[in-house]
Structure 1
Amino acid sequence: MHVSRFIALATVNNPAKKKYLYAFNIIPMKSMDPAELVKQPQDVTENPYKRPGKDKADAQKATFGATEEEEPAHQFFFDLSRKQGGGSRGRGRKRPSDGARWGGDQQQDGDRPKQPRRHPQPSGPCWFCLASPQVEKHLVISIGTHCYLALAKGALTPRHMLILPIGHYQSVVELGSEVVEEMEKYKSALRSFYKSKGDRCVLFERNYRSQHLQLQVVPVPLDCCATEDIKEAFMVQAQEQQMELMEIPEHTDLKQIAPPGTPYFYVELDSGEKLFYRIQKHFPLQFGREVLASEAVLNIPTRADWRECKQTREEEDEACKQLRDDFQPFDFAWED
């Protein structure tokens, strides 16, 4: 999707002398780089004229811990598969939707810093944008400036959590530097928290058939299995499904091997080792959970599917309250 800008102008020669002319440059879309075309300003809002979703029941499928399956985005004005020449264009200010900003005053156009690349806004309701009315806020554990922490819906274990960006981003490779920095702080806090509970920390992300980044963070008891065993479990199960997980070299950034828009599966172990698979066509949606729930790791195979692990609202409330209390000493956002 690309952004459309709407500017309200007054009538010509109006008594209040309000602005009735606006000058701007237009660059043809066919001359723009696809990545530049789909950049999203920080305060962009959803299209108020979009068609309603297919079925409200479909939207109910997407909840914390269950990455929603979305339809392919329809692009009627530009073929993103074509390789086009470069180019750039300016954008005016957009009016932010309610709750879209978290602290800080709005800046004037001349003072606005360069915005990071943003994934297009969701074509329908997003269950993970914190300002969205669909988000299940009772599952939230901690809120930072750019990210927040939530209990996973249908969690593998009682301390299975998600790190999510407050704004709408599809994957880790599309995050701005300030969001990445805070996400790393949450990772560090969770590692310390899990260590105090006798657990090691396994993180994974599936950037496939999803529209909002969910970084799954699962604790594995230290006496359950070694990091090498967890790595081997991922490798073996991937091989069984004819997928080749590659190990990312140390100090190599994920963005270097997966440009924005690339579907992938990513694992980060407590040893610092990182595994990556570039998804080609099909990918088992529960792969990360299936590996960790397998006999080789947590040995809870019946919990591989999040839908089989649902709790009542009362049970979720109680679990979140306990988790917030336990995590509070490690929560840098609480200190701020």
Structure 2
Amino acid sequence: MSAAVKVLVVGSAVGQIRELFTKIKSIDEKHGKFDFALCVGDFFGPPKNANEEYREDHDVIQLLEGHLQAPMECYIMQGEHPLPAPVIEKFAKTGGILSSNVFLLHKSGVLNTAQGIRIASLGGIYESNLSANIMRAFKGFTSPYFTSQTVEKLLANTMTSSKPQERNYTSLAAIKSSTTPSQLVDILISNAWPAGITQFSSAPLPAPELASIGVEPVADIVRKTKPRYHFAAGGGHPPRFWEREPYVWEEDNARVSRFVSLGAFGGEQPSGKKQRVRVVLCRVYKGIRPPLTPTSEPPPRPSNATPNPFLQKVPKRPLDTGEDYRWGHNEQPGKRSRTEDPSGKPPPGYKCKICESPEAPSISSRTAQKGRNLEKGISVVSVTRSVSTTASGMSKLTPAIYQPGHFIRDCPVKNAVGDTGGKKPREGYVCRACGSELHYIQDCPVAKQTGPREGGGRRGPPKPIAPDECWFCLSNPNLAKHLIVSIGTECYVTLPKGQIIPTHQGANHPNVPPVPGGGHVLIVPITHYPTYLAIPPDLAEPIIEETEKYKSALREMFAKHGAVAVCFEVGRMSAKGGHAHVQVVPVPTKLKNAIEDAFREEGRSQGIEWEEDPDEALRACGGGRGSYFRVDLPDGRKMVHLIREHGPFSIQFGRQVLVSVLGMGDRYDWKACTQSEEEDKEDVQAFKTAFAPFDPSL
């Protein structure tokens, strides 16, 4: 049971079942083998009307009758729509087995897979204002909603064993029951987001409305089950991809949780980028293991972990109406009655002393919660992510439902809550510790973790680089996307701006390797991590594996053109945090024996010492515990230098050595080597054509 389990997670198919199975098969052949797939959100899409029937050639009927086969075991759930009537009938007969490889999870169920993975599922959407009559009329999969009773049933199921009915289906018959006294689960899948999930997170939201879509019942499930992975599908319309930084449950042996909201595989796509979104959503999540026990060794703490957003419930503001939800208006004793306009609006000329605006927002607590938006939002759709942030890179909440005027007692600013649970700052305030506009410095988690400096004041660390500011994050609108030559599941490959190898001016240099498009490329993980060794262990394997595949492919391509590959990484754990990447540069085969000597000689002149045991040195930097410079020589050996904290080290050291080997001293400054966009595109097309036979993503 100690072996890692490979799980493929995809977003809503929205009825595109055949296309989804084709994609899953392709990814499994390229990056598998996967143990099973989780299809989050709407698998079937909106059902037909009661008077419409499904034709025999419809994918739903083809699936239920066994004519449409899934390439691996797939667990599906209910999303935001009622399920089709034929699916509900099949579920009632089989207990969830829709076909030999497709299993429909209960709306509020818990299941243990054959690999020992415990999955909890909560289907549907939440609406607290539904009447009891409506809920009685539509139950189970015929209703798109879940209720507090649905949540209670799920939590009760977490205390019992999962016992699927014994059926004559070979591929799902291996599912085993497992009795456990614990409510902890490995994976939670839901359509709805939990309330408070965006607290303490600096990961930019891809759409403004996502700041307030979470619901408290899902947050309650998270507090009790503490899932190590929570996948949700209801991130807006259309759904958007958003991955939150991990957070830790200290009281449960430092158990680490991660939340990922998936965009839709099928249906409407943001800005029409359908094919690009599909590629990103089919991501690999590895390393899911059986539940930890109190005696287990605590897992390594992720370097980018944030405070836990679920340790306290999201504060609720008091209702404005003065009416009891069940018994109606209740006058409180001892309170003076007021003579007011029947409309509840202030008289002409009244000015709120808190927000000093006669036209300020007047919102009830429930409307305020649903109506928050991100101010100054910039929605950018790219290959992998969408970004919505303020100019400072921080999410900024502000009420969005306005009415003309309000009394001071109703002022929303008076009870507004910041992102860390304290009072929301006044307009224009900026926390000096982290740069956020959503909390005062006394409520800042960064300021609390930073000791006082000399003079009695506090100084937080430099503000981390946000994804929309990072030169290597695909969500950055300023990223030179025209230089990208390959996009895999975990990494992408791009030509750099101002590459070492000249391709237009200076291309007649005697040491220019004849690699089409130059050949100097960067291999970049899609997810933002400061170094490769800082990637959490349970997420690192697929990223490193794909990086090595790209390295091997580049070596083969370079060899065809009479060159060898030199790979180097500046793994620098700087205060602001960079984005991990590996540079790969082709060097003519005739110069390969000069590469190691050049690194050693130049290193000696700069006081750079090389470790005798490179592998042991890299292990010492694991988990983000240190900075390093790594070189992969053409013969497969490594050279590693451990960068001292606050010690001098030029990030251009690798480039400096290679331009020396190539005899191209004028190529040291990348800014002096930049080309026009037209010339860059010529290089990209030449490289992509030559790399296509070796590209592991194709």
Fold-level match, TM-score > 0.5? yes
2:610: which partner in 1?
245
**Given that residues 118 and 169 in structure 1 are in contact (C-alpha distance below 8 angstroms), is that contact kept between their aligned partners in structure 2?**
no
* Residue pairs, 1:311-326, within 5 angstroms: 311-326=675-690
1:88 and 2:281 aligned: no
**Given that residues 467 and 475 in structure 2 are in contact (C-alpha distance below 8 angstroms), is that contact kept between their aligned partners in structure 1?**
no
What's the offset of the Cα at 1:331?
Answer: 1.3
Alpha-carbon separation, structure 2, partners of 1:119 and 1:134: 26
**Given that residues 523 and 583 in structure 2 are in contact (C-alpha distance below 8 angstroms), is that contact kept between their aligned partners in structure 1?**
yes
1 or 2 for the larger relative contact order (CA 8 Å, sep ≥6)?
1
Give the match's secondary structure for 1:267. strand
**Given that residues 618 and 640 in structure 2 are in contact (C-alpha distance below 8 angstroms), is that contact kept between their aligned partners in structure 1?**
no
What's the offset of the Cα at 1:232?
Answer: 1.0
Give the match's secondary structure for 2:497. coil
What's the offset of the Cα at 1:189?
Answer: 0.4
Alpha-carbon separation, structure 2, partners of 1:45 and 1:134: 19
The answer for unaligned runs of 5 or more in structure 2 is: 1-124, 136-144, 156-200, 206-249, 264-269, 271-276, 290-298, 305-463, 502-517
Could you say if the C-alpha distance between residues 159 and 278 of structure 1 is closer, same or farther in structure 2, counting changes exceeding 3 Å?
same
**Given that residues 100 and 131 in structure 1 are in contact (C-alpha distance below 8 angstroms), is that contact kept between their aligned partners in structure 2?**
no
2:664: which partner in 1?
300
2:104: which partner in 1?
none
1:216 and 2:382 aligned: no
Give the match's secondary structure for 1:212. coil
1:234 and 2:599 aligned: yes
Could you say if the C-alpha distance between residues 181 and 198 of structure 1 is closer, same or farther in structure 2, counting changes exceeding 3 Å?
same
Structure whose alpha-carbon radius of gyration is higher: 2
* Residue pairs, 1:151-166, within 5 angstroms: 151-157=495-501, 158-166=518-526
What's the offset of the Cα at 1:103?
Answer: 3.5
What's the offset of the Cα at 1:118?
Answer: 6.0
Q: State the TM-score, normalizing by the size of structure 1.
A: 0.67
Q: 276, 285, 288: which is aligned to 1:113? A: 288
Counterpart residue identity of residue 292, structure 1: L
Could you say if the C-alpha distance between residues 185 and 254 of structure 1 is closer, same or farther in structure 2, counting changes exceeding 3 Å?
farther
Q: Report sequence identity in percent.
A: 33
Could you say if the C-alpha distance between residues 264 and 247 of structure 1 is closer, same or farther in structure 2, counting changes exceeding 3 Å?
same
113-122 vs 204-213, greater mean Cα deviation: 113-122
Alpha-carbon separation, structure 1, partners of 2:522 and 2:690: 16
Give the match's secondary structure for 1:217. strand
2:511: which partner in 1?
none
Q: Deviations over 1:69-113 (max 9, x none)?
A: xxxxxxxxxxxxxxx999414537443577597243899xxx993
2:656: which partner in 1?
290
Alpha-carbon separation, structure 2, partners of 1:112 and 1:180: 13
RMSD, aligned α-carbons: 3.9
Q: State the TM-score, normalizing by the size of structure 2.
A: 0.34
Q: 615, 619, 626: which is aligned to 1:256? A: 619
Alpha-carbon separation, structure 2, partners of 1:278 and 1:303: 26
Give the match's secondary structure for 2:280. coil
What's the offset of the Cα at 1:131?
Answer: 4.1
Q: 490, 493, 504: which is aligned to 1:146? A: 490
Counterpart residue identity of residue 183, structure 1: T
Counterpart residue identity of residue 171, structure 1: T
**Given that residues 127 and 135 in structure 1 are in contact (C-alpha distance below 8 angstroms), is that contact kept between their aligned partners in structure 2?**
yes
Counterpart residue identity of residue 244, structure 1: E
2:280: which partner in 1?
102
Could you say if the C-alpha distance between residues 259 and 163 of structure 1 is closer, same or farther in structure 2, counting changes exceeding 3 Å?
same
**Given that residues 248 and 273 in structure 1 are in contact (C-alpha distance below 8 angstroms), is that contact kept between their aligned partners in structure 2?**
no
Could you say if the C-alpha distance between residues 90 and 164 of structure 1 is closer, same or farther in structure 2, counting changes exceeding 3 Å?
closer
Counterpart residue identity of residue 621, structure 2: A
Alpha-carbon separation, structure 2, partners of 1:47 and 1:137: 20
Give the match's secondary structure for 2:261. coil
Alpha-carbon separation, structure 2, partners of 1:303 and 1:230: 17
Give the match's secondary structure for 1:270. coil
